[in-house]
Amino acid sequence: MKVLSLLLVAASAARAAFWLEDIRHHGISPFNPDKSYTVFRNVRDFGAKVTDDTAAINAAISAGNRCMAYECVGTTTTPAVVYIPAGTYLISSSIVDYYYTQIIGDPTNMPVIKGTGSFKSPTIGLLEGNKYMDNGRLSFVSTNVFFRQVRNLVFDTTDVPGEIAAIHWPSSQATSIQNCMFKLSTRSEDTHTGIFMEEGSGGLLTDLIFVGGKYGAQFGNQQYTMRNLTFINAETAILQIWNWGWTYKSINIIDCQVGINMSSESVGSAILLDSQFINVPVAVVTGHDPSNSTSRGSLVVENVMYTHVPIVLQASNGQTLLLGDPVGVVYDGGYATGNLYAPHGPTPMQGRDESYFRKPSTLKLDYVYYERSKPQYESFPASAFLSAREHGAAGDGVTDDTASLNALFKAVSEANFSSVAFLDAGYYLVTDTVYVPAGALIVGEPLAAVIMGAGAKFSDMNNPHPVVMIGMPGEVGLIEMSDVIVSTKGAAAGALLIQYNLNTPAGAKTCEADLPPSGLWDVHTRIGGFAGSDLQVAHCPITPHVPNHIDPTCIAAHTSMHITPSAGNLYMENNWLWVADHDIEDLNMTRITVYAGRGLLIEASRIWLVGTSVEHHALYQYQLVNASDIWMGQIQTETPYYQPNPPAPFPFTQRSEAYYDPDFDTDCLHNPHNLNYHDGTPTLALAGSPPCAMAWGLRILDSENVIVFGAGLYSFFNNYSTNCSQATAGENCQARIFAIGPTGEGATTPADKARDLSTVEVYNLNTIGTVSMVTRQGADMALWGDNFVNFASTLAVFRF
Ligand SMILES: *[C@@H]1O[C@H](CO)[C@@H](O)[C@H](O)[C@H]1NC(C)=O
Ligand SMILES: *[C@@H]1O[C@H](CO)[C@@H](O)[C@H](O)[C@H]1NC(C)=O
Ligand SMILES: *[C@@H]1O[C@H](CO)[C@@H](O)[C@H](O)[C@H]1NC(C)=O
Ligand SMILES: *[C@@H]1O[C@H](CO)[C@@H](O)[C@H](O)[C@H]1NC(C)=O
Ligand SMILES: *[C@@H]1O[C@H](CO)[C@@H](O)[C@H](O)[C@H]1NC(C)=O
Ligand SMILES: *[C@@H]1O[C@H](CO)[C@@H](O)[C@H](O)[C@H]1NC(C)=O
Ligand SMILES: *[C@@H]1O[C@H](CO)[C@@H](O)[C@H](O)[C@H]1NC(C)=O
Ligand SMILES: *[C@@H]1O[C@H](CO)[C@@H](O)[C@H](O)[C@H]1NC(C)=O
């Protein structure tokens, strides 16, 4: 034994640290006027040494005139990767997070951030993500907190007396907390919470373990996707403060008094999948009133196991709604409390009925819906990472890096999964397609590596050209890509930001394990609204007072992403396809009008979309055509704020058959709500007659085996005014937002008739600002007023 432990000590002393610590650091921020700005910082270089490391970690975060609360509302020019090596760091007051910051620990030996017994802070969190100001408002507008991560850390508050949260995290799109552990006080006099989140428009949380606490977590946000969270020995595992929609998957709640308390007046809906409760007296507390069709707290549960759980569902008044078994095991195949449309409704649904849950095995692995976290390649040595800037790319936003990136991606794809392309922070300007061959593993310096298409090749609005092409049509193999942003610069009406053609046969291998699908984690598109894009306030001001004004220099993309018919077996997680509605660099968050045609078009099979969001594209956000086996878990969309001035499809007036563009002319002529669109002549809607020529949030044509576990389809504006989305106005921003099947009689195809639409299921559909919540084969099936809850209208189950 003695010899063995000595060997272990020797091995750990010799062990290399995480590659991110060991690689050479070349990242830059080319649009920061300070040319000496450094993206990567190791807290050790700022004096963190284990006695009191608060100042050192805060110095590592703030160095370089970065975007700090109170002074700055946002910027993309000061991104930082703050690296924390193994060790225990004592913290006596909050670590204050800045804008656009990735705080990353060593996953091979997770550092511990430990609050001291004398911890003092006027703020909420040990890690303070967004301080409150004296006026009682958050210093960063929570719905503007984008592009930040926390990974691989242990937060220990057990020594801190009183009230504290390990992380205060009001956050929005393209943010995540991954692979962290929370050790919280269980003393009755303390009120500890692992994560406290009260606002925002998120986001992803994954692979977290919470031990102890009065609350494992308190969650409030518009919508969120959270998976693989384990709560042990908390009083209440999850207190749901407010929401419109939420998707919980793979949640383990063990030895807690209450599992999920979602009884608050402000909770719209939640979905719970593939989860278990063990030794929990009350699994879920709901505020839902089954006799009230517009009641809050719509709940959908599938594949959940209860062991020693006397009460599965309890009303907020203490009444037992669903019994468990205090000494045995109860299994729930599926139940819902909320409004059912099958396909007509609303019918109140309250209780177990597995027949509403089809559970296609094609989307599952080992009895749960497939899931896989962003790979961190922690077993790879630093030498496995090929730096883009060491391999000839400049990343300076000026030099044409097309050839360098193509050479780099070819090199890693030929290395048989032993090399990873590392895109150092920077802007990689490309004038032609960057091709990602099968076999490529690609990692960006987190969220600071941007591939930016510009130039003549991307200029023809009717002839889209890929900026990044993953696989050639017909190509077979596996890729993984994470933490990369794809963008355009200036006018780029023909830019197809990501074309995904790759087919990954089930069972493809990397050297890590058997991994069926390829993966894109934190791969985002960002169109306009950032320094260097030439699509900012100065270039693309809003023009609500000018009817149907279109500035062609602000047409910046044809399509964000196209998953083509040759593709298959792709896992996407935490992806945000965003056409900017405002300029991130601007102190007043001033709105801008930038045009991009289509959001995410999927024509393939076996695609998982876990925590994705598509916003502000002119024709649609998500469109599925002849697609099958599609899992979508908490998707979120927004209609462009300028519409209907000009209306859809402007400025993309030439309809592309190849892209299955919606035919607004036909659809809207057939729409009884809409008298505002005649033969392609845009006229602006009047109050009381919601416009029809508006972008679809989600359109599903000719597709089968599609499951949507949570959708927030939002339309807040008409012509930059929110008046139409106030419930008092009758949710009048647009007539329709979600279509299944052909939308107008003219659009019916033989294939559509042949497809079995009965295999499309939608759970917890939440809409805002639209009259019809679901339009099926041209007919409006569910109206907002029958399902209005808080700000959103919610229906629990829609199926045929
Ligand atoms: C869930 O998270 C834990 C760490 O918290 C990790 O060890 C485990 O592999 C994760 N499971 C999945 C399916 O990702
Ligand atoms: C659930 O949370 C509410 C606060 O939203 C609280 O008043 C109530 O006591 C909690 N219920 C249980 C059973 O813990
Ligand atoms: C139904 O629920 C809504 C939202 O929770 C509430 O405002 C309304 O008062 C309830 N109606 C009745 C009759 O209880
Ligand atoms: C690729 O790697 C796998 C596993 O590491 C190995 O079995 C295989 O022989 C390698 N193939 C080539 C062509 O090097
Ligand atoms: C858009 O709204 C503004 C008020 O914000 C109004 O003055 C203008 O007339 C509207 N535009 C059109 C084309 O109706
Ligand atoms: C922000 O708004 C204020 C007041 O409206 C104005 O004085 C200032 O110039 C604006 N700043 C920017 C950067 O637009
Ligand atoms: C639809 O997809 C199937 C494969 O899933 C293919 O065989 C068929 O040709 C496609 N139909 C159309 C109209 O593209
Ligand atoms: C929105 O409503 C307010 C209050 O009714 C009104 O004063 C304002 O003019 C409206 N704005 C537009 C653009 O219609």
73, part of any domain: yes
Mean pLDDT (whole number) for 2-27: 65
723 Cα–ligand 8 center, Å: 6
751 Cα–ligand 3 center, Å: 43
Pair of tokens at residue 216:
């494992």
Nearest CA to ligand 1 atom 1: 207
pLDDT category of residue 726 using cuts at 50, 70 and 90: confident
- Final residue of a domain: which of 612, 637, 654? 612
Can you tell me the distance from the alpha carbon of 287 to that of 787, in angstroms, rounded to the nearest whole number? 16
Same-domain pairing of 606 and 649: no
Chain-centroid distance, C-alpha 481: 16
What letter does residue 504 receive in the DSSP assignment?
-
Torsion of the alpha carbons at 169, 175, 179 and 182, rounded to the nearest 10:
0
The CATH number of whichever domain residue 99 belongs to comes to 2.160.20.10
408 Cα–ligand 4 center, Å: 20
Q: What is the pTM of this model?
A: 0.95
Same-domain pairing of 547 and 456: yes
Nearest CA to ligand 1 atom 2: 207
Ligand with smallest separation from the Cα of 724: 8
pLDDT category of residue 366 using cuts at 50, 70 and 90: confident
Sequence length of the chain is: 800
Cis peptide bond prior to 649, omega within 30° of 0: yes
Q: What is the pLDDT of residue 756?
A: 63
Q: φ and ψ at 556, to 5 degrees?
A: -115, 0
Torsion of the alpha carbons at 167, 170, 173 and 175, rounded to the nearest 10:
-10
Provide the mean pLDDT of the chain. Answer: 91
3-state class (DSSP) for residue 349: strand
588 Cα–ligand 6 center, Å: 6
Task: Find out whether the beta carbon of 722 lies less than 6 Å from any atom of ligand 8.
Answer: no
Pair of tokens at residue 786:
């029958």
Task: Find out whether the beta carbon of 152 lies less than 6 Å from any atom of ligand 1.
Answer: no
Ligand 4 pocket at CB < 6 A: 416, 511
pLDDT of residue 537 exceeding 70, the answer is yes
List, for residues 540-559, the tens digit of each pLDDT value. Answer: 999 999 988 999 999 999 99
Instruction: Tell me which residue of 510, 705, 507 sits closest to 605, measured CA to CA.
Output: 705
pLDDT of residue 609 exceeding 80, the answer is yes
Task: Find out whether the beta carbon of 51 lies less than 6 Å from any atom of ligand 8.
Answer: no
Task: Find out whether the beta carbon of 295 lies less than 6 Å from any atom of ligand 3.
Answer: yes
Same-domain pairing of 246 and 306: yes
> Rounded to whole angstroms, what are the CA distances from 252 to 91, 255, 375, 389?
29, 10, 22, 43
Task: Find out whether the beta carbon of 553 lies less than 6 Å from any atom of ligand 8.
Answer: no
Strand duo 40-42 + 95-96: pairing? unpaired
Can you tell me the distance from the alpha carbon of 549 to that of 543, in angstroms, rounded to the nearest whole number? 7
Same-domain pairing of 449 and 396: yes
Instruction: Tell me which residue of 145, 143, 371 sits closest to 248, measured CA to CA.
Output: 371
Nearest CA to ligand 3 atom 8: 295
Task: Find out whether the beta carbon of 684 lies less than 6 Å from any atom of ligand 5.
Answer: yes
249 Cα–ligand 1 center, Å: 12
Determine which of 315-324, 642-651, 741-750, 767-776 has the lowest per-residue pLDDT on average. Answer: 741-750
Same-domain pairing of 505 and 523: yes
584, part of any domain: yes
The better pLDDT of the pair 36, 352 is held by: 36
What is the amino acid identity at position 737?
I
List, for residues 297-310, the tens digit of each pLDDT value. Answer: 999 999 999 999 99
Return the number of other C-beta atoms located less than 10 Å from residue 665's C-beta: 18
Task: Find out whether the beta carbon of 553 lies less than 6 Å from any atom of ligand 3.
Answer: no
194 contacts 213 by C-beta, under 8 angstroms: yes
Mean pLDDT (whole number) for 123-147: 93
Ligand with smallest separation from the Cα of 545: 5
Our count of domains for the chain comes to 3
Q: What is the pLDDT of residue 678?
A: 43
Q: What is the pLDDT of residue 752?
A: 53
Nearest atom in ligand 7 to 565's CA: 2
Q: What is the pLDDT of residue 350?
A: 82
Same-domain pairing of 604 and 625: no
Q: Got the DSSP string for 67-106?
A: --TTT-S--SSS-EEEEE-SSEEEESSPEEPPTTEEEEE-
- Residue 520 backbone zone (phi > 0: left; psi -120 to 50: alpha; other: beta): beta
pLDDT category of residue 6 using cuts at 50, 70 and 90: very low
Q: What is the pLDDT of residue 617?
A: 98
Same-domain pairing of 626 and 731: yes
775, part of any domain: yes
Q: What is the pLDDT of residue 669?
A: 65
List, for residues 674-695, the tens digit of each pLDDT value. Answer: 444 444 444 444 334 688 889 9
Nearest CA to ligand 4 atom 5: 511
- Final residue of a domain: which of 612, 640, 656? 612
Measured at the CA of 454, the angle between CA 448 and CA 460, to 5 degrees, comes to 135
Same-domain pairing of 414 and 563: yes
Ligand with smallest separation from the Cα of 297: 3
Ligand with smallest separation from the Cα of 177: 1
Q: Got the DSSP string for 308-326?
A: EEEEEEEETTS-EEEEEEE
Ligand with smallest separation from the Cα of 585: 6
307 contacts 282 by C-beta, under 8 angstroms: no
Nearest CA to ligand 1 atom 7: 207
Pair of tokens at residue 529:
């609204």
Determine which of 32-46, 70-84, 502-516, 744-758 has the lowest per-residue pLDDT on average. Answer: 744-758
Give the bridge partners for 218, in sequence order: 196, 239
What residues contact 626, with CB distance under 8 A and at least 6 apart? 565, 603, 701, 702, 703, 751, 755
Report the side by side order of strands in the sheet with 495-500.
434-436, 465-470, 495-500, 555-563, 595-602, 620-625, 696-701, 738-740, 772-776, 779-783
> Euclidean distance between the first and final Cα of the chain, in Å?
64
Nearest CA to ligand 4 atom 3: 511
Instruction: Tell me which residue of 533, 648, 535, 526 sits closest to 591, measured CA to CA.
Output: 535
Nearest CA to ligand 1 atom 9: 207
What is the amino acid identity at position 388?
A
755 Cα–ligand 3 center, Å: 39
Q: φ and ψ at 361, to 5 degrees?
A: -70, -20
Same-domain pairing of 166 and 315: yes
List, for residues 176-208, the tens digit of each pLDDT value. Answer: 999 999 999 999 999 999 999 999 999 999 999
749 Cα–ligand 5 center, Å: 38
636 contacts 225 by C-beta, under 8 angstroms: no
Same-domain pairing of 638 and 769: yes
Measured at the CA of 207, the angle between CA 168 and CA 576, to 5 degrees, comes to 70
- Final residue of a domain: which of 338, 367, 398? 338
Nearest CA to ligand 2 atom 5: 264
Q: Which structural domain, as residue segments, surrounds residue 418?
A: 1-30+376-612
Same-domain pairing of 552 and 586: yes
Q: What is the pLDDT of residue 375?
A: 97
Pocket of ligand 2, candidates 198, 253, 263: which has the most ligand atoms within 8 Å of its Cβ, to mutate?
A: 263
Q: φ and ψ at 3, to 5 degrees?
A: -60, -45
Q: What is the pLDDT of residue 3?
A: 40
596 contacts 533 by C-beta, under 8 angstroms: no
403 Cα–ligand 4 center, Å: 27
362, part of any domain: no
Ligand with smallest separation from the Cα of 154: 1
352, part of any domain: no
Q: What is the pLDDT of residue 749?
A: 58
Q: What percent of the chain has pLDDT over 70?
A: 92
Pocket of ligand 5, candidates 719, 720, 721, 722: which has the most ligand atoms within 8 Å of its Cβ, to mutate?
A: 719
Ligand with smallest separation from the Cα of 725: 8
